Structure formats: structure tokens, C-alpha cells
Amino acid sequence: MNLPTEHRRCVLLRQDNGTYRLTFEQTKRPEPGPHEVLVRVRAVSLNRRDVYIMHGQYPMPPRPQLVPASDGAGEVVALGPQAKRFRLGERVAGTFFQRWIDGRPSAQTLGSALGGQLDGMLCEYACLGEEGLVRMPQGYSYEQAATLPCAGVTAWNGLMTRGRMQPGDNVLILGTGGVAIFGLQFAAAAGGRPIVTSSSDAKLERARELGAAATINYLKVPQWAAAVRAATDDVGAHQILEVGGLGTLQQSIASLAGGGHVALIGGLAGFGGDIPAMALLHNNATASGIYVGSRADFEAMNAFIEQHSIRPVIDRVYEFDAAADAYERIAAGEHFGKVVIRLP
């Protein structure tokens, strides 16, 4: 479709009678305000969160009508008169929380999520505050950079910032989705011993190729905590990326090594669950709530990615007009790694 140059095409998630649906809308291209940057978005990646939001199942309710997707990358095409952090033409990715720069988050910074409280990236042009962007890692394509802001930063924060992972750590990764595969890659690159669970032997084979030292099919081995202990000489997991929630938390806790850390991230098997205080106490173990991370986390992750030449695992790339198919791919749970949408 040929549009007048001052327009942009966006996907809009609209709420009708309690259900959300995706539509394509043509709107006026925004002018960047004093400290804003206009980004020509080239690629977006979807997260499980985007599917939850579409189905009205996300624990942090979004606006009733919004441009979805937290994760996008593109080039800077216009600068506000006082914007100084970037130059025209630079290749950038948006940060999940537009106002969480560093240190501890506040209610205000946690209320600045793209594709949730704020319009997201599934749009030809996105106007963001200059503080809410990072440079893409060297040598990355837009499709690769678009995978990083939510899944990559969450895995990084859980393992490194909060988990303080050490070489030699046994690292338990649940499933083979977006967060999980970044966790696997980071753990392997940092000298850890990744142990991956999946419902699919074929996906476990791919996990081994990416550096998994041990794999467990959680459908064939429903009591997989015992298998984690067996795979670690009864030491257990020093780091756990807990993306399962209700249906997996008790077994994750039972998998913990002494002094271990469980990063409470997700709800693939239902959001919530109880932490048995005595199990942590007896183990000198720690549980942390993880909600993505700050811009400083993103920048530290990018430096690590460059140092270790890590490339994200992209499951499939969809064209903009097929955005709904990308949502379907995630909802079906068939993907391995990240699902990406390319913009025109």
C-alpha cells in the first residue's frame, strides 16, 4: 500500500466486548518532542506476554486500545530539538521499560512498559524518549536486535544481575521459548552447565547443540526435579529461570542447590505459586522476582553478547501483513526461540 509520506501504518489491538482483536490502522506520523527520537521500525519480536495481552490474560492489564509489542529495532530518522543521545541513521532498539534506566525500579518506572501502559513497536514509526533506547549490538540485523528487549534482558537479569551466576553453576532452564533459549545461550557462554527441560525430544536435541549439558523431557519425566538432581550428582541447580509458575515452582524449588537462586519470571503453567520459606532457609537459597530489567541491564547484556559473539535463535520471521500468524505461532507453542515480524 502506498501512503502519503507523513503517515504510518500500525497494528492496533482493540478491545471489543472484553475480547481483543488486531487491526491495521493508518495514522499520522508523530513529530518527535524536545527529547524524543523517531524510529523507523524494521523488525519486532513477539513474546508470550503479547499473546496473553491479546487474550485478556496478562496479570498487568494494558490500556484498552494500544499498539502492541514491547520489542522492536530500527533506525533513527528524526530527532527532537534537544535530543542528544543518538544521531540520525543510528541502529537502535527500544527498552521494555521506557523510564527504568538503572538501579532499583519504582512504581513510575515500572509503569512505562511498551506495548502495555505505553504504545508499543508494531508500527512503521515509533516515537520514543531518547532515554528509552539502546544501540544495537555490533553486527546484528534488525531482526536479531528485535529479539532482545524483553526475553533477552529478562534472562540476563535473572541469571546475571540478580543471580550472580558463576562459571561452573548448574543452570536449570524450563522449556525452549524466548526467555529460555537466551538463558541457555548466556549460561553456556558464561561457563555454566545448562540443564534444559522440554516437551519435545527434537527441541531437546537442538538445545544440546546450543550447549545444554543435560536434557529432560518433562512430559516423559513428570517428576523432573529428581532428574535434575541425578544430572548434577545430587548437587542441584545453582540458577533456575522459573518461567513455569504454578505448575513448575514446587519442582524448581526441589531442584535448588545450596546457595542457589531461583528467578521468578513467568506463568507458562499458570501465574503464581507459593514459596516454601523453610526450603529456602535450609538451603541458604534465594528467590527473586524478575520483571524484565533496566536499560543498564540491556547495555550490559549487549556488551556480553558482543564479547561472546552470541546470535539469537530466530524460529521464524513473518511479514508485517501476517502479524496475526506470528501471534498464532507463539500461541501454538511450536516455536523454538524467538518469533519475529519484519516491517516494510
Ligand X SMILES: NC(=O)c1ccc[n+]([C@@H]2O[C@H](COP(=O)([O-])OP(=O)(O)OC[C@H]3O[C@@H](n4cnc5c(N)ncnc54)[C@H](OP(=O)(O)O)[C@@H]3O)[C@@H](O)[C@H]2O)c1
- Interacting residues with ligand X (CB under 6 A): 47-49, 150-151, 154, 174-180, 197-200, 203, 218, 243-244, 247-248, 265-269, 290-292, 330, 333
Nearer to ligand X, 38 or 263 (CB): 263
Coil/strand/helix, residue 323: helix
Nearer to ligand X, 9 or 49 (CB): 49
| Total Cβ atoms within 10 A of residue 59 | 9
The least distance separating ligand X from the CB of residue 107, rounded to whole angstroms, comes to: 16
Nearer to ligand X, 100 or 125 (CB): 100
CA distance to 56, 140, 247, per residue, from 64 (Å): 10, 34, 29
Which residue, 198, 188, 209, is CA-closest to 244?
198
Nearer to ligand X, 252 or 302 (CB): 252
The least distance separating ligand X from the CB of residue 342, rounded to whole angstroms, comes to: 19
Which residue, 239, 193, 94, is CA-closest to 152?
94
- Cα-atom radius of gyration of the chain, to the nearest Å? 20
Residue listed under C-alpha cell 532428574: 227
The least distance separating ligand X from the CB of residue 115, rounded to whole angstroms, comes to: 12
Residue nearest to ligand X (CB): 177
Nearer to ligand X, 27 or 288 (CB): 288
Nearer to ligand X, 127 or 207 (CB): 207
Give the helix ranges, DSSP H, for the chain: 48-54, 107-110, 142-145, 153-156, 178-189, 201-209, 224-231, 249-254, 277-283, 295-307, 323-332
Cβ neighbors of 16 (< 8 A, separation 6 or more) are: none
Secondary structure percentages of the chain, helix, strand, coil, to 5:
30, 30, 40
Nearer to ligand X, 86 or 252 (CB): 252
The least distance separating ligand X from the CB of residue 254, rounded to whole angstroms, comes to: 14
DSSP code of residue 274 = -
The least distance separating ligand X from the CB of residue 51, rounded to whole angstroms, comes to: 7
The least distance separating ligand X from the CB of residue 38, rounded to whole angstroms, comes to: 27
CA distance 23 to 20: 10
The least distance separating ligand X from the CB of residue 20, rounded to whole angstroms, comes to: 16
